[in-house]
Structure 1
Amino acid sequence: MLKIVRNIPWRQLGYLCIGLLALAGIGMLMGVVKKKDMAQACVSMKVIVEGKETFIDQHDISNLVSAQFGKVVGRPLAEIPTDKIEKALMELPYVSSAEVYADMDGILQILVQQREVILRIVNKVGKEYYIDTQGEKVPVTLKYVPHVLVANGNIREGYEKPLDTIQTQLVKDLVAIVEHVKNDPLWSNQIVQLYVDHQQDIEIIPRVGTQPLIIGDASKLEEKLGRLEIFYKNILPKVGTRAYEKVNVKYDGQIICERRDGWMLDSLQMKLKMK
């Protein structure tokens, strides 16, 4: 019996007991703190709206909370429906995420992340909407107009309700072009608008030059933009900015330059084969 007692690892057993007591103490302390927090009244509400857009601001969020859930300052924290407030905020079409919680000081913290839009669509009947980075449709508001590219012309796809997804390949191609050029120092500055003609070809409206640049669709975009760079570097300086009515690079290995009326050429199109 004495031998068994001597073989017991008393030091480790002591550490284990101390650890268990500490955990029990922490649990009791947290229970007391939680009980105190739940009984504590909300002393203020702090709203933080993040994101590069300004579709909504702190006042919009505060007004929504007050209108749907009443006054929160002065109410016990346990009575504030933080989950329902989060759900209401997520129903706003300009919000991508929302977090609502009360901190140790009794302040109701509301953190909202706005959606980021990358393209404004104006379809053939004049219906307007934005496309965000998630490929979802965001309604237009008079309160804020973001600085993004506009695509218009013969675009059939419309807008039914907020956060609908893109339905047609044409609009997907328009978004693909914007995504492709947004970090390109040349094309992000050179493209001022996208236009869809009656043949459903996408045209770039450039900042430099008067002629639209026809690229067709978003396939082989790198090659098409490469041919347009050749046009700007090697052709445009020789003929001037008003020589051509249109420039077409939708066909593989070609730059098709269409002359303006009144220019004496054997053909209205000039094809330059790319080596």
Structure 2
Amino acid sequence: MKNWIKITLYIIFIIIIISLGINIKLYLDNKLLLKPKIIIKNDGINPFISKKELLETLEMNNFIFKDQKIKELDIESIEKFIGSISQVKSVNVFQEINGQWEINIQLRKPIARILNKSGETYYLDAEGNTMHTTRTHTARVLVFNGEIRDKADNFSVNQIINNDSLINILKLDDIYRISNYVCEDTLFQSMMSQVYVDKNGDFIITPMIGDQKIIFGTANSDQEVESKFDKLKTFYTEAMKHEGWRKYKEINLKYEDQIVCKKKELIK
């Protein structure tokens, strides 16, 4: 008899717990949805999207709306939508048991801005992928223009490197090597602003200090890029401090183990 009483009480207890759980869920599901906590991580200087802009974008696309209930929140669709934004590297959207929810975003880091022959403008990020520009935010990175055929959303740097036919006609991998090196070097990062690709495929750098042009030539490997920048740094730190920034009109790094310079003509 006592066992039956215990079993009955246990069943009643389980029913009460389940009922409470169902009632709590129904209560929470019908509560009004609060605004999300948004965390945006950005490795670059200027973030490409702000918390306010993200909220406005979600509202504009009806992922968030007035008098929205917790049960009407579609986390999977929101995460997929944010992940499709060109400037977003990764996103995680989750909801806590009390109905509060959070959006965590990692933005891409742009290292170069490219203006190709077709007039299309886009960024190249630190992982060698292209990303679109925005009307509201601009990254302070090297700008590349000239004889560049590469288009946005076409090929990544890794795809070009691993394709013998692409590597001979596209410049994105070379642009990546130069811009990636400059981004990691505080001296060159503060000195260089624009790079032009001429009809021969040579990269010509325009520094922010002085009016000379730097004939960089090709950038076919990391070793080549590092060697040329090492030569340039030696020239800047040793020769320029004696000769001055405005004495030369051209600094040519194309030749192995040497720098060929042209001085400005003296005005009589």
Name the TM-score class by shorter chain.
Answer: 0.7 to 0.9
SS at match of 2:35: strand
Residue 88 of structure 2 corresponds to which residue in structure 1? 95
Residue 203 of structure 2 corresponds to which residue in structure 1? 202
Instruction: For residues 191-226 of structure 1, give each alpha carbon's deviation from its aligned partner in whole angstroms, at most 9, with x where no partner exists.
Output: 222221222111222233321112212232222122
Residue 36 of structure 2 corresponds to which residue in structure 1? 46
Residue 127 of structure 1 corresponds to which residue in structure 2? 120
Instruction: For residues 137-177 of structure 1, give each alpha carbon's deviation from its aligned partner in whole angstroms, at most 9, with x where no partner exists.
Output: 11122211121121122222223x4x852455522112112
Give the letter aligned to residue 133 of structure 1.
Answer: A
1:109 has 2:98 as partner: no
Deviates more, 1:175-184 or 1:142-151: 175-184
* Structure-2 separation of matches of 1:75 and 1:56: 24
In the TM superposition, residue 35 of structure 1 has moved relative to its aligned partner by: 7.2
TM-score, structure 1 as length reference: 0.72
Q: Is the 8 A contact 2:63 2:73 kept in 1?
A: no
Q: Which has the larger radius of gyration?
A: 1
Q: Is the 8 A contact 2:213 2:249 kept in 1?
A: yes
In the TM superposition, residue 71 of structure 1 has moved relative to its aligned partner by: 4.4
Q: Is the 8 A contact 1:38 1:76 kept in 2?
A: no
Instruction: For residues 44-86 of structure 1, give each alpha carbon's deviation from its aligned partner in whole angstroms, at most 9, with x where no partner exists.
Output: 0224141334322223332333344454575553442211111
SS at match of 1:187: helix
Q: Which has the higher contact order (CA 8 A, sep 6+)?
A: 2
**Aligned-pair RMSD on alpha carbons?**
3.1
Instruction: For residues 239-271 of structure 1, give each alpha carbon's deviation from its aligned partner in whole angstroms, at most 9, with x where no partner exists.
Output: 4433333111122112111344579xxxxxxxx
In the TM superposition, residue 120 of structure 1 has moved relative to its aligned partner by: 0.5
* Structure-1 separation of matches of 2:121 and 2:93: 32
SS at match of 1:118: strand
In the TM superposition, residue 236 of structure 1 has moved relative to its aligned partner by: 3.3
Residue 245 of structure 1 corresponds to which residue in structure 2? 249
Q: Given the superposition, is the C-alpha separation of residues 34 and 249 from structure 1 closer, same or farther in structure 2, using an over 3 Å criterion?
A: farther
Residue 151 of structure 2 corresponds to which residue in structure 1? 158
* Structure-2 separation of matches of 1:180 and 1:213: 16
1:226 has 2:217 as partner: no
Q: Is the 8 A contact 1:39 1:78 kept in 2?
A: no
Give aligned pairs, total.
236
Give the letter aligned to residue 86 of structure 1.
Answer: E
Instruction: Report % sequence identity.
Output: 27
Q: Given the superposition, is the C-alpha separation of residues 78 and 35 from structure 1 closer, same or farther in structure 2, using an over 3 Å criterion?
A: farther
Residue 7 of structure 1 corresponds to which residue in structure 2? none
TM-score, structure 2 as length reference: 0.74
Structure 1 gaps, min length 5: 1-24, 264-275
Residue 239 of structure 2 corresponds to which residue in structure 1? 235
SS at match of 2:89: strand
SS at match of 1:55: coil
Q: Is the 8 A contact 1:43 1:73 kept in 2?
A: no
Residue 57 of structure 1 corresponds to which residue in structure 2? 50
SS at match of 1:93: coil
Q: Is the 8 A contact 2:149 2:171 kept in 1?
A: no
Matches within 5 A, 1:19-98: 36-37=24-25, 39-40=27-28, 41-52=31-42, 53-69=46-62, 71=64, 75-98=68-91
Structure 2 gaps, min length 5: 1-12, 161-166
SS at match of 1:236: helix
